[in-house]
Structure 1
Amino acid sequence: MYWRVKEGHEGKFNIGDGFPTFASYGDLCVYGTPVLEYPDLVKVAFHGGDTCDPDKRKWGPGVKVDKLKEWVEERLGGMVDSSEAVVKQSCMYSMTADEDFVIDYLGGEFGKDVVVGGGFSGHGFKMAPVIGRILTQLVVDGEASGVDLKHFRIGRFNTTTSN
C-alpha cells in the first residue's frame, strides 16, 4: 500500500534524503520503502498472507488494512495520511519453508553446472545487489568469496539427510 505524505513533510520520505527501506516486526510484520515509485507516496505494507492457488487468488487490498492504518498513524507521527492508502496492490510471492533464500548448486547429476537462486520470500529485492554478486561469483568462479552459504543450501529442506 502506498500512503500520501502530508504537505510540508514530502522531503522526509525520499530515498535521496536518507529515508530507509525498513521492516518492523511485532503483531504485524510491516515493511516499507521510500518515496520512489509514485510522487509523494511512501510504501508501507503488510508482509504475510494466506497460502493461495495462483490461478484462484483473491485480488484486493489484502488483509489487516485497519491494523496497517493504525501502524502508519502511530509510527509515522502524523506526517503521512493514514486515513486510506492511495494505491493498493495485492502481491504474491513464493515462500520457502523457513522464509529464507536458496543459494546453491543444483547438485546431483548437474554437480556445479547449475546455480540456483530463489525462494526470496518477498524480501529478496532488498538484497538484490549482494545476491547478484554472490550468484555471479558462483557461476564465474565456482565459489562466493567471503560468504558462508551453508544456511542457504537447498539441502536444508531434506529431512532424511544432513546438510
Structure 2
Amino acid sequence: MVIESTLFYWKIKDGYELDFTIGSGFPSFASYDHPYIYGTPALEFPDLIKVAVHGGQECDPDTRTWGAAAPVNEGTAMLMRYLKEWIKSTFGDRIDWDEGPVMSQSCLYSMTPDGDFVIDFLGGEFNEDVVIAGGFSGHGFKMAPVVGRMLVDLALGGKAAAALWEEELKHFKVRRFEGNPRGNVIGFEDQVRISSRL
C-alpha cells in the first residue's frame, strides 16, 4: 500500500539553533505514542527541525496531490493542536510551536502490512541471483547505511553472505506474509521494551 504523509518543519528560536544539530549530539527521535511522532535534527534546512506524525492517507502515487496529505478539517486541525502541544512539552520555548510549522512537504511511504522492510532473495527461477529490498514504510532512510551494507553483501556473496545476516534477515523475508497476511505483528510497547535492552 502507498500512503501520502505530510512532513512539518518548525523554526528553532534564536539562540538555540546549535542545540538541534547533529554536531551537538541531537538525535533523530521517535515517540511511540498515539499518534506516533518522529523527527530529525536541523539538517535539511538551516534553523528548522523536522517534527511530524508517522502515517497518512492511502493514495495512488500517480495522482498524488504533492501538497498537504489531508485536507484541513477538524481531524487535521486537532492533530496539529496535538503536535504543537507535544513540541511545547518536549522542547519548551526553544522551538516556535505557537505559529505552527513554517514549511511542509508531501512524502510517500511504501507500506508493508506490518511496517517492516522486505529484504530477501527474489527466489523462484532467479534463486539467489536477484536481491530485493523495499516496503520501507516511512522509516527506511534511518536504516540506509546498514541496509545498503546488507544488500551489497547479499548481491556479492549470495547464500554465504546471507548466513552472516541470518538473524537480521529472518525478520525481513518476503515469505513472512504467506499464511499470515499481517506479517510481523509487534506493538509499540514491544519496540520500547526491546530498545531499552540495547
Q: Structure 2 length normalisation: TM-score?
A: 0.76
- Give, in angstroms, the shift of residue 66 of structure 1: 2.2
- Give, in angstroms, the shift of residue 85 of structure 1: 0.4
Match 2:129 to one of 113, 125, 140: 113
Partner of 2:29: 22
- Give, in angstroms, the shift of residue 118 of structure 1: 0.7
What amino acid is the match of 2:13? K
- Give, in angstroms, the shift of residue 90 of structure 1: 1.9
- Give, in angstroms, the shift of residue 27 of structure 1: 1.7
Match 1:137 to one of 153, 166, 184: 153
Q: What does the per-residue CA deviation read over 1:70-111, in whole Å, with 9 as the maximum and x for residues that have no partner?
A: 111111111100021011112111000100000100001110
Q: Structure 1 unaligned segments of length 5 or more: list them.
A: none
Change (3 A) 1:16 1:73: same
Aligned Cα RMSD in Å? Answer: 1.5
Alignment pair present for 1:55 and 2:62: yes
**Cα separation, 1, equivalents of 2:170 and 2:124:** 17
SS at match of 1:112: strand
Q: Structure 1 length normalisation: TM-score?
A: 0.92
**Cα separation, 2, equivalents of 1:33 and 1:156:** 31
Alignment pair present for 1:154 and 2:174: yes
Q: Could you tell which deviates more after superposition, 143-152 or 96-105?
A: 143-152
Partner of 1:36: 43
Alignment pair present for 1:103 and 2:119: yes
Partner of 2:107: 91
SS at match of 1:89: strand
**Cα separation, 2, equivalents of 1:140 and 1:98:** 28
More RCO (CA 8 Å, sep 6+):
2
User: Which of the two has greater strand per residue?
Assistant: 2
- Give, in angstroms, the shift of residue 65 of structure 1: 2.0
